């Protein structure tokens, strides 16, 4: 199930005053998406996502993403976390230290 469908109806039936768009943003945050990823998915600016996050944090009485995650799970704002697809990012190149063998 996609975050869009997850956010449509939480299992608890309580919405805590969140708008449908804010519920979508909560689902994406819980899934581990960044502000930039969420903005691209919802076709809005990152500034709009920042605004939504501030509003969500204020309405739910949380101050960061981790608290939001626990709140969403405890109050069942989304149905199942396991079925939300995680953000797919391009892996970064890992710089490895240059190991040179010493001449003996």
Residue 94 in tokens? 């890992």
Task: Decide if pLDDT at 64 tops 60.
Answer: yes
Instruction: Tally the domains of the chain.
Output: 1
| Residue 69 or residue 91, greater confidence | 69
How far apart, in whole angstroms, are the C-alpha atoms of residue 76 and residue 18?
Answer: 13
Segment 25-45 shows an average pLDDT of 94
* Residue 14 located in a structural domain: yes
| Residue 93 or residue 74, greater confidence | 74
CA pseudo-torsion sign 23, 31, 50, 56: positive
How far apart, in whole angstroms, are the C-alpha atoms of residue 80 and residue 96?
Answer: 38
| Predicted TM-score of the model (pTM) | 0.67
Task: Decide if pLDDT at 27 tops 80.
Answer: yes
* Residue 81 located in a structural domain: no
* Residue 33 located in a structural domain: yes
Find the CATH number of the domain harbouring 60: 1.10.10.10
What's the pLDDT band for 14 if we cut at 50, 70, 90?
Answer: confident
* Residue 102 located in a structural domain: no
Closest alpha carbon to 23 in 37, 38, 36, 34 = 38
Segment 4-15 shows an average pLDDT of 54
């Amino acid at each position: 199930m996609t975050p869009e469908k997850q956010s449509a109806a939480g299992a608890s039936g309580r919405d805590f005053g969140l708008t449908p768009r804010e519920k979508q943003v909560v689902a994406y945050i819980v899934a581990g998406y960044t502000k930039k990823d969420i903005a691209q998915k919802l076709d809005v600016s990152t500034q709009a996502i920042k605004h939504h996050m501030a509003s969500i944090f204020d309405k739910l009485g949380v101050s960061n993403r981790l608290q939001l995650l626990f709140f969403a799970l405890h109050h069942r704002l989304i149905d199942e976390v396991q079925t939300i697809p995680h953000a797919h990012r391009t892996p970064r190149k890992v710089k490895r230290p240059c190991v040179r063998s010493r001449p003996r």
